[in-house]
Structures are given as C-alpha cells and as structure tokens.
Amino acid sequence: MGTWRDMTKEELEKQYAPSRWSHRMDKEVVIEAHVRAVTEGTRRAQATMQTLLHVPYGGNDGEKLDIYLPTDPSGAFPLVLYIHGGYWQFLSKEVSGFIAPPLVTQGIAVVAVGYDVAPKGHLDVMVAQVRRSVAFIVQQYSKISGVYLCGHSAGAHLAAMVLSTDWEEYGVTPDIKALLLPCRSDCSAVTLSLPREVAWRNSPILGVTAATPARKACEVLIAVAQHDSPEFHRQSQEYFQALRSAGWRVSLLDIADTDHFDVIEKLSQGGYILTQVILNMISRA
C-alpha cells in the first residue's frame, strides 16, 4: 500500500475510519462503547480521587485542565499529562480521567487537557493550547519530578507536536521525560479539510529534528493497536524511523488483540501492558 496521497477518496476514508477495523464490534457500536467506557471510567475516578476540576490555563472556555492528585501532593511527584483523541473534532477532558486510578495510587498526578476541538478550534490553535497547558502545569507545580505526555490518536498527534516546541517563547523548560503515543494519527488535508500548508506545518514527522543531548533524555514510545488500519500502522512505523534516524530514544510497540479504542481504554487497568510501561518509565527516571 502506498501513502495516503496514492489513495482514492474512498480508500482514504476507510483507512482513517478506525471503527471499521475493530475486531470486537460493529463500527457504530464500537464508538458508542468507547464513549461509554471512558465516561464511566472518568466518573469512577472523580468519585474516588482528589481532584481539581476545570482549572483554567488560558482565557478561552476550552482551555481548562482536570487534575487528579496523589494522596500527598506536598512533595515531589511525577505527572502524566493526557491529551484525548476524537479526530480533533469530539471528546473532551470531561471523559479523560479514566486513566487516573492506577497511576494516582502509585503517587503520580494525572492531568487531562481540554482544548478547542473543530470546528471551533483551528489546528494551529489546538497545538498552541496543548503547548500552553504544559507550560502552565510546570509553572503551577514547581515540585513536579518529571512530565510524561500521553496522547491517544489525534491527542498523540498533538503530544508529538510538543516535541518541536520553542520553550523560550513560554518562559519555561519543562522536564519532559517521556512521550507515550498510542495509535498516533497524523493530520492530512483530507481529514480536516485543511489547507495543505496548515497540515504540513502541524505534521510531527516534518518537524523532526536531530536529538540534542537534552532531547536524548526524553524517551518516546509509539504504540499501535493490532487491529488498526494499515495506514495507521504505516504512519507509526514511518514516524518511528524518522525519530530513530534523528537520534531520539524511540521504540515501537504493537499491542496484540487490541483495536483503536480499547488500546487506550485499558489504561484504566493496573495490569495492562501500557499502564505497566508508563509505571516502568517513571520508575527508571
């Protein structure tokens, strides 16, 4: 299979429709089940965890964070910042706290990032908002022992864009120790009907630069679901190769028996492989 540029519109729509590749459920049912799973998981987390909800990091209505704090937040603690997916068009921080329980119980703070999805949010705006959320949280909590970015699908794209941030513009230097990118999607002019130049300047693979000594300290894990589209597998492999060629510490993990949706839903489980990867990354830091 060639790149998305070689596909017909129908082929491209199929490749970019992850619900059509699920091995578990019908394409409509799997989306409904995903929304239900992350919503119920977030409700459970908020009912049992110490939280700070709707914390503004900017002036727009969508620029808010939900913070899940460890039992004793007075000392230093690592922080996992989660950026939701939804094709840059739906879902929200309000259904993004489901990953918190197995991490918070290990003394790790979790922050769910809100951003303005399309059509309200332009892709440039989304990228800038996520960058500002990182700058805000490290300024808010001076005792953070390291930031770990986790983004799913479109959220993984936004997390990857953080790697190319010029932090001098924000007046901070976040100690980003790792990125976990399950089912990373790249933007395309077809996906959001974007002008080509907008899609290109917001494409992480086009922004890959040589890893500096400081950047080599940041570990990148690209995870892909077994039952995701060949195009998503190709994008993940291509991004992995680009980072590795540029000298980054990067690995690629194919998660068996998962699709685009349960690969992230299972982060609510302490024994899940990606949950254990996050915990291992933090313990090694």
Structure tokens at 129: 């908002």
CA-based nearest residue to 153, from 243, 250, 222: 222
Considering the candidates 22, 188, 260, 262, report the single residue annotated as catalytic. Answer: 260
Q: Say what the pLDDT of residue 8 is.
A: 82
Residue 260 annotated in active site = yes
Residue 153 annotated in active site = yes
Residue 22 annotated in active site = no
Give the integer Cα–Cα distance in Å for 91 and 4.
Answer: 25
Q: Tell me the pLDDT of the chain (285 aa) as tens digits.
A: 456 567 787 887 888 899 999 999 999 999 999 999 999 999 999 999 999 999 999 999 999 999 999 988 778 999 999 999 999 999 999 999 999 999 999 999 999 999 999 989 889 999 999 999 999 999 999 889 999 999 999 999 999 999 999 999 999 999 999 999 998 767 654 455 677 788 878 889 988 988 887 777 899 999 999 999 999 999 999 999 999 999 999 999 999 999 999 999 999 999 999 999 999 999 988
Give the integer Cα–Cα distance in Å for 182 and 170.
Answer: 27
Considering the candidates 22, 92, 96, 153, report the single residue annotated as catalytic. Answer: 153
Q: Say what the pLDDT of residue 187 is.
A: 60
Q: Which domains does the chain have, with CATH numbers?
A: 4-284 (3.40.50.1820)
- Per-residue DSSP letter, 211: P
In terms of phi and psi (left: phi > 0; alpha: psi -120 to 50; beta: otherwise), the region of 39 is: alpha
In terms of Cβ atoms closer than 10 Å to its own Cβ (0-12, 13-18, 19+), residue 162 is buried
Sorted by sequence, the CB contacts under 8 Å of residue 220 that are 6+ apart come out as 163, 178, 179, 181, 243, 248, 249, 250, 251
CA distances for 63 relative to 23, 79, 115, 117, 167, angstroms: 35, 19, 5, 11, 19
Q: Say what the pLDDT of residue 82 is.
A: 98
Q: Say what the pLDDT of residue 189 is.
A: 41
Considering the candidates 34, 66, 96, 228, report the single residue annotated as catalytic. Answer: 228
CA distances for 69 relative to 74, 75, 106, angstroms: 10, 12, 11
